[in-house]
Structure 1
């Protein structure tokens, strides 16, 4: 059966250009949360800046540097074996991202992860002073201009390209998981609760591509192969989600939508959608490429960087 896994709430974080970026060694070889009896130099109070199904996010700061932080707390009572495994995976992925050049340009930055004496889990990230792309989009219910959408999609695609280059798929790309950092004036990708490695080393020491059969992500953004419960390439799932994202920014509506979830999933599986009329031919071609039902025909993030849409005059 398909296993439905629910992501922990994503935490927005930011990079202070005056701070020296240091990626702490957060994960032991067995991927166990470090147990700490102290707060490890962080201070946070009762100011809640977000909540998830199993977590609460607090605003705080790093005492030595005064760097603003976000602290996600997952109470021990909510830490089932499956959820703890997901948290370990999320931290491991974020730790790998933290080691990439210019990671702070594209992604939320992980600072630390630990558990306390009561077995509560904590994930500490830098705080982004900004706004979710979801809020920006909903302020424009009929969609944003093609020029603005192009600027946004270019930044998001670059972030996805960096992930895919490093054999990571996000698997939950959506408006709510992208935040505009008002300091850097850039869009950043957050929430790696569903992220996965897309390759592994086999017993012969060779790199092999991983496939997945998990139903994960948000229903309006899931790809046809997920709906059909087929083993799939998680990178291609990200590409489909980029298509849904672009369409939504263009129009203020999802390309596939219905209050009846069964009908919605059927329409996604069929891949029938209506192209917006007021777009350039290049933008329409991009949407058609991203929202191809056959995942093997969808372009890679690398090839999308060379699409003609980026260079046309608008």
Structure 2
């Protein structure tokens, strides 16, 4: 995908990420920085058009200090563009590569902020379904931000869902069993695996391929390292209970002793002798559940509906063009 100089009124600075069918660029507009997800229009087809619409509808609803903002939607002759809040310190997966692991104080603060975002997401009857370090961004004030609602979906009164989740490494046992599962507790399992990974530098699984990892997730009990504190170990273990009916809820997590400031040292300026941490820990501690330094104009409902109408028009024209081409070929091939 060739890098453009400008996308609407946004001046493109550089590419900062790649996906299977998209790329993310850093762009500037009126002195502010933004991340713009660029999606080739040809990749939106009958099979994924509804999912794409669902992603942007869900993300547009999200207005929380620990969730990236969807700020604008643009389209041109070749691409769709999702203008997102820019988080200058990257994602937790990159931090893990650079730092190998985090200490408990840092992981505890991350847990608090992700739980706050998940509580908000679930209050809208939505399950994120792809919580993992790659989808947890860090802004300039060290706030954690959930991003990427590509696999998110709505659930009903019983909270049950059936469509498969994201990365196998962070998927819950019930999700991998291809049976109806609870949209809330599946996110909490993924959070548990994420916290384990942040503490130890790797996931709990040892399989060599997706099939063996999935079998391990369904059948093997997770063992936490002995150096993890009892409170922390109990917290993560309760998130990783295989029976989703017995798994810890968000309400129970908030009451857990590990998150109780009176029970544990909440200062992220503490650095374990044996564990590195993410950049400046004290900044992360002082920024807990705090708004970003900038609150952008949120994407309006009117702009969202206009964008979706454009997607449908493009797809309608594509179908007409394909049908016309097939008709011509049929005519040419008549004996």
TM-based fold match above 0.5: yes
1:46-57 to 2 correspondences below 5 Å: 47-57=14-24
Equivalent runs, 1:119-268 vs 2, <5 Å: 120-141=79-100, 143-182=101-140, 184-199=141-156, 208-268=157-217
User: Match for residue 111 of structure 1?
Assistant: 71
Q: Which of 14, 25, 31 is the matching residue for 1:66?
A: 31
TM-fit CA distance, 1:265: 0.8
Question: TM-score w.r.t. structure 1 length?
Answer: 0.77
CA contact (8 A) 1:215 1:226 kept: yes
Per the TM alignment, residue 132 of structure 1 is displaced from its structure 2 partner at its CA by 1.1
Report what 2:45 is aligned to.
80
- Match of 1:284? 233
Q: When the two structures are aligned, how many residues end up with a matched partner?
A: 258
Gaps of 5+ in 2: 1-5, 266-335
Is the CA contact (8 Å cut-off) linking 1:91 and 1:113 kept in structure 2? no
Structure 1: segments with no counterpart, 5+ residues: 1-37, 200-207
CA contact 1:271–1:291 (8 Å) conserved in 2: no
Pair 1:301-2:250 in alignment: yes
CA distance 1:135–1:46, change in 2 (3 Å): closer
Task: Give the TM-score of the pair, scaled to structure 2.
Answer: 0.72
Alpha-carbon deviation of 1:218? Answer: 0.6
Distance 2:16 2:59 in 1: 21
Question: Within 2, Cα distance between the matches of 1:149 and 1:257?
Answer: 22
**Do the aligned residues in 1 keep the contact of 2:159 with 2:184 (CA within 8 Å)?**
no
Q: Give the structure with higher Rg (CA).
A: 2
